[in-house]
């Protein structure tokens, strides 16, 4: 009997606003974009894609207004050549700026401001649509560099957003493991363990994350391998596990006040038009 895999969730938090975007994958060839108002905890389904959105090559603008993403549907003879980078009005996918790519090398990008973005170009992007309200930055605006694939966008995004890279090593199976940390209050650190491996668990991709809470005062470490995404949001801890979004607080004695905010599991594919 096949293992039932819940939807996989990855979240992008706006740096200067209470907005967020959830990228929901599942089944593997279906991706939904969901908007999240972190102040009111209202969730809004944006659009679905019959294809893959590479969540680690995506970014949300600081004001939460635009999403840059890299996607692939394998229709290689189409206008976007089967794989493309788009910039849309979150939480939708209809592109206001659109680059055909034609393969899955590089792609996606990062926002330096709410109107300026860097394209993870490499080679092969072809501009199809442009938005005069947005400006592409040609010069690479960061010091760190991790290649053109997912870590090249994702690791830079993490460090830009307050994560400290602590070490890059290999796990017990010899696969790459990069550990990031962020202060979470009351002597607690949130550790994000970014795995890069072909020997992956069921339901995980080549790149996937697990998490750990570490008390810097007592040395206590609490593993949360089911958390596929987690971050600190003011005094709150947010995470995604088993297709759901949760919030809790970290106190002296650990995590408490845990609340499930959203369950994405019942969602079914539907065609939705963007309102622009």
Where do the domains of the chain lie? 8-263
> 186 and 136 in contact (C-beta within 8 Å)?
no
Does the structure show a pLDDT above 90 at 273?
Answer: yes
List all residues 6 or more positions away from 52 whose beta carbon is below 8 Å from its beta carbon.
25, 28, 29, 31, 71, 72, 73
Q: How far is CA 258 from CA 14, 238, 248, 251, in A?
A: 22, 10, 4, 12
Closest by CA to 13, choosing from 111, 95, 97, 98, is 111
DSSP structure string for 157-171 = HHHHTTPEEEEEEE-
Q: What is the pLDDT of residues 58-83, one digit of tens each?
A: 999 999 999 999 999 999 999 999 99
| Tokens of residue 225, six digits | 């391998």
Tell me how far apart the alpha carbons of residues 66 and 85 are, in angstroms, rounded to a whole number. 13
Dihedral-angle region of residue 142 (phi above 0 means left; psi in -120 to 50 means alpha; beta otherwise): beta
Handedness of CA 97, 94, 5, 9 (dihedral sign): positive
Tell me how far apart the alpha carbons of residues 29 and 187 are, in angstroms, rounded to a whole number. 41
Local confidence band at 92 (pLDDT 50, 70, 90 cut-offs): very high
| pLDDT, the chain, mean | 94
| Tokens of residue 189, six digits | 């650190």
Q: What is the pLDDT of residues 214-248, one digit of tens each?
A: 999 999 999 999 999 999 999 899 999 999 999 99
Per-residue confidence (pLDDT) for residue 142, from 0 to 100: 78
- Rounded to two decimals, what is the model's pTM? 0.95
Does the structure show a pLDDT above 80 at 137?
Answer: yes
Per-residue confidence (pLDDT) for residue 3, from 0 to 100: 58
């Amino acid at each position: 009997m096949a293992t039932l895999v819940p939807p996989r969730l990855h979240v992008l938090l706006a740096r200067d606003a209470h907005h967020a975007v959830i990228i929901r994958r599942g089944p593997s060839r279906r991706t939904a974009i969901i908007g999240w108002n972190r102040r009111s905890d209202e969730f809004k389904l944006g659009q679905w894609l019959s294809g893959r959105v590479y969540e680690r090559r995506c970014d949300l603008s600081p004001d939460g207004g635009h999403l840059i993403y890299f996607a692939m549907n394998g229709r290689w003879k189409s206008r976007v050549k089967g794989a493309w980078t788009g910039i849309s009005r979150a939480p939708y996918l209809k592109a206001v700026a659109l680059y055909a790519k034609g393969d899955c090398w590089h792609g996606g990008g990062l926002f330096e401001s709410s109107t300026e973005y860097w394209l993870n170009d490499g080679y092969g992007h072809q501009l199809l649509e442009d938005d005069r309200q947005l400006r592409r930055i040609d010069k690479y605006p960061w010091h760190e560099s991790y290649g053109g694939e997912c870590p090249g966008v994702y690791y830079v995004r993490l460090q830009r957003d307050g994560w400290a890279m602590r070490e890059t090593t290999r796990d017990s199976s010899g696969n790459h493991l990069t550990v990031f940390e962020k202060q979470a209050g009351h002597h607690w650190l949130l550790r994000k363990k970014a795995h890069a491996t072909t020997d992956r668990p069921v339901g995980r991709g080549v790149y996937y994350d697990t998490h750990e809470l570490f008390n810097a005062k007592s040395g206590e470490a609490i593993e949360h391998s089911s958390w596929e995404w987690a971050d600190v949001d003011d005094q709150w801890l947010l995470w995604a596990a088993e297709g759901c979004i949760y919030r809790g607080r970290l106190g002296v004695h650990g995590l408490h006040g845990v609340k499930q905010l959203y369950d994405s599991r019942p969602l079914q594919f539907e065609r939705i038009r963007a309102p622009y």
